[in-house]
Amino acid sequence: MSKRPRTLDAFFAPPPAKKQHIDPSPSEDGNTTTNPPLALPKTDEQPSSTHPTYPFPIPHLPPSLTSSLHPTPATSPIVLNNHPDLDILYYKPYLPPRPATALFHHLRSSLPFYRVKYSIKRGAVETSVTTPRYTTVFGLDSSAVFCPQSGRLLDARTPGKPLAPGSYRCRPRPIPDCLASLLTHTERTTGAKFNFALVNYYADGNDSIAFHSDSESFLGPDPTIASFTLGASRDFLLKHKPTPENHPSEGKAMKLVLGGGDMLLMRGGTQGAWLHSVPKRKGAGDGGGGRINITFRRALSKGGTENYYKYNVGEGGGGEVWKWDEGRGR
């Protein structure tokens, strides 16, 4: 028996230099789920989303999966508002088990991911940081739009007017079909409007995200964010930001165990007042039981676009692109 590799990069294989055939069928690599995924047909004619900013074509959802994404949630939400400033709708689940599992397999095998490195400076000390999970992002803030024909960036305030080259310090990418379908359903359910899809892949229990809030000014006041879990379950912690009152919710964190298909709709004052995290977890799988998190949100200004691409793709268009290898199961 060979020794299991310890590096997180072992769970991904960089895409080949030559264009490869993309097989949208679900993996048979032993992903932990109580329900088998829907059968996704193998076909050379599978349509794909393409754009000059994509590192490779991104397959559309197969018709069988698209038709299984019902326009209404699988369950009514649980209302979480029993703490100060907390306003969350918890769909447990939003997606039925079989479509949720099929969507997990499709997205994991189809999307480009990045292990972003960046620097932070505290005083005179500069520290290099490697994001402890795989990330990717698609979308554009509300000040601009993609031209449907050419894919170029246009000024949203002046129909048909192209943006000058260099208007953004990044290369925005349109949301591909495989994410746009779920985004549209979510908008209809929630009444919210979104223009960004951020995707995190947690390969195993070593991947995590520290306590933070999505309260940047470019999201506007009281932003609404829809957060989906696909794949393995992970703990999701919530705690109130410090206040002069020092009420109990600032101490011990509230824990939700989010499973495949679950969705949190965080709204109102939640982002302004609360922090959330996905901590490291012992025994959370060896890569076959990874977790995908999709968050839909709405950025109002150019600063939001530049922020999201810097920290989810990387500066200058990103570094090495990682793609799940279905054949090897990693």
Annotated binding site for 2-oxoglutarate: 200, 202, 212, 276, 291, 295, 297
Closest by alpha carbon to 268, among 139, 83, 92, 141?
Answer: 83
Q: Please name which of 37, 213, 55 lies closest in space to residue 136, comparing C-alpha atoms.
A: 55
CA distances from 307 to 129, 152, 172 (A): 16, 20, 11
Positions at the binding site: 200, 202, 212, 276, 291, 295, 297
Q: How far, rounded to the nearest angstrom, does the alpha carbon of residue 11 sit from its chain's CA centroid?
A: 18
Q: What's the length of the chain?
A: 330
Task: Give strand pairing partners of 58.
Answer: 49
* DSSP label at residue 139: E
Residue 163 to residues 95, 148, 153, 154: CA-CA distances in angstroms?
38, 15, 6, 5
Among 63, 11, 7, smallest CA distance to 231 is for 11
